[in-house]
Amino acid sequence: MRAAGFALAIVLSSAVVAAADPVTFQFSGTVTEFFPDPNAGFNASPGDRFVAFLTLQSTLRDFDPSPQIGAFRVDDGSIFSMNVGTGSFRGTSGGFADLNLDAANDIQARFGLDDIQSRFTDETGHTRPITVSALFGTGGHGRPFLATDAFPTAAELNRASRRFLTLGTDCCETPFFTGSIQTVSGGPVAPTPEPASLGLLAAGLAAAAFTRRRTTLQRSC
């Protein structure tokens, strides 16, 4: 059985590595507000369609021990991109993902990239950092869409009664872009062992079966 245990350990370690791979969400929806800003690099009007991609470079580990709060670090190198209106937006940064399951039923999931150094500059010629935030919640109303503080799937986010995407040049300023997210796809998937690991597992099980059979034959003799 040692061979089987060894192979199983390799498979489980491979699953852990797979779970640490980048996770990409796709958000599709419509523009609700747009205020022209030199940092935007695009023009949009309410009702325009947008498609955005958020790729999180993260191990998806919850750093908060509370079962009501999920706090996930988003490592530098995470990517946000969006096609909307007459152009597109793209930036790279780090940030956070947090979940809040409070007793008042105001359940929230929030993803953010802070201080994205975009390729757009303001009227003074300086590149201003932009904050991207995707918010999912109930606002204290509606049925819960998250049952635990584990990192959410796209299916869970789609059950939120409020889904918004914002872009702004400062956390305390009015966002220059707000969109209503209608559908979410992608997101984390269940880790699957790689073919090589499956081969090792099969080899381990075969070795264990052979050892068992040899032991049985020796005892019968």
What amino acid is encoded at 72 in this protein?
A: F
| Domain containing residue 112 | 2-220
Closest Cα partner for 22 from 57, 73, 67? 57
> What is the per-residue pLDDT for 180?
98
Q: What span, in angstroms and rounded, lies between the C-alpha atoms of 208 and 2?
A: 7
* Beta pairing, strands 162-168 & 177-186: antiparallel
pLDDT at 206 over 80: no
The count of domains in the chain is: 1
Q: Compute the mean pLDDT over every residue in the chain, rounded to the nearest whole number.
A: 78
3-state secondary structure of 19: helix
At 115-173, the pLDDT tens digits run 886 666 666 777 778 899 999 998 777 788 998 999 999 999 999 999 999 998 876 67
Q: Measured over all CA atoms, what is the biggest interatomic distance in the chain, rounded to whole angstroms?
A: 91
Q: Given the structure tokens 């068992």, which residue do they identify?
A: 212
pTM for the model: 0.74
Note whether 63 and 151 are within 8 A (CB): no
188: phi then psi, degrees, rounded to nearest 5: -70, 145
Of 32-46, 98-112, 194-208, least confident by mean pLDDT is 194-208
pLDDT tens track for 37-50:
777 778 899 999 99
